[in-house]
Chains A and B, each alone.
Chain A
Amino acid sequence: MHWQIDLIILTFIIFCAVGAITVRDLLSTAILFGAYSFMMCLLWAVMGAVDVAFTEASVGAGVSTVFFVAAVFRTSRRTKD
């Protein structure tokens, strides 16, 4: 029933995941991780697991992105490999 929405979200998830490990700029990686978490949150919401979606939105997309950005701010922005 929701397979079109699922397909769109899953495509975005794969794009975000591949982008997060290939992009050289670590700040972009942090943002891509946030986008990935937000897509996962949408997926949980589509599946009906609203509690999990809520946790994913607040922890995954919210706070952990901020932690990543703070860690990038204190280390280097470019990755070595």
Chain B
Amino acid sequence: MKFVAFLIVSLCGGLLLYATADLPAWGDPNSPASSHLSPHYIEKALEETDVPNLVTAVLADYRGYDTMFETAVVFCAGLACLLLLRDYSRREGSFYRHIPTGVVIHFKNNAKSMPASREFEHMDKEWVPYDLIMKTVCRILIPFIQLYALYVVAHGDFSPGGGFQGGVIFGSSLILLAISYNLRTVVQRIRERALGFLCALGILIYTGIGVLCMIAGGNFLDYGKLAEIFPVDPGHVRALGMVGVEIGVGITVMAVMVVIYVNIASEGRHDEGL
């Protein structure tokens, strides 16, 4: 069986390698891809959209419909993760550790959870003592990571980056919080309900901008028409529409990353994890 699998894989690999010989050379100006459509983008994108970063102009404006469904795919991934992994059954009992003495108290019934205090901390079965260095470093680092993520989203039309990357960076800052502190810390800061709301809100912003363009009399996601609704410079309105769309993408991606991580790391129980 293994031999057959190896044979099939090497056959397919050989075919693919054989086919690459027919691909145009990298950066070939005479290839079909760079002789029909690309010159238009390269020559006209700046004057049509007022966005210096060509990649953002193509992704968010010329191919805005594609990007919208990519965001929907990310949303569906988060939704699938939630539906498959989320476990609503409550775990029996809870553990609390008295910090000054190190004594662990076990509540057998889960009637009431203890309020957070300086003396007692909630403890899980996979509890590990906090590393002071890691905690402190991450506490200092996380705000800067989040600020950088916002910069990446806001600067998507001037420099590399955009909604996807900024959203992932913001989400990973929250994942870093979960790793360095506790999964519970993140779940308490951003409730599950809020995360689900944010997942949907991002796509709603994206499609909402598209629908606003339709209300203004243009096509779906034709940002040029937004100038008739909002008091902005008509030459720059496409860039502003792109920033709005990128913000929507960033919100969805951020929330989905946190949802996936929280559900995988805690087996859907949202209590303890890495």
Query: A: which residues have CB within 8 A of B?
Result: 47, 50-51, 53-55, 58-59, 62-63, 66-67, 69-71, 73-74
Contacts and interface: CB of A to CB of B under 8 A. Distances in A.
B172 A66 contact: yes
Interface residues of B, number: 23
B260 A59 contact: no
B264 A71 contact: yes
Contact of B162 (A47, A51, A69): A51
Contact of A59 (B26, B161, B164, B175): B164
B171 interface: yes
Nearest to B263: A70
Given A47-B26, A63-B175, A69-B274, A55 B165 contact: yes
Contacts of B165: 54-55, 58-59
B164 A55 contact: yes
A46 to B, nearest CB: 11
Interface in B43-63: 53, 55-56
Contacts of B55: 51
16 contacts: A51-B160, A54-B160, A54-B161, A55-B164, A62-B169, A62-B172, A63-B168, A63-B171, A66-B175, A66-B179, A66-B261, A70-B273, A73-B265, A73-B273, A73-B274, A74-B267
B147 to A, nearest CB: 15
B261 A70 contact: yes
Best-surrounded residue of A53, A58, A62 (most CB of chain B within 10 A): A58
Contacts of B162: 51
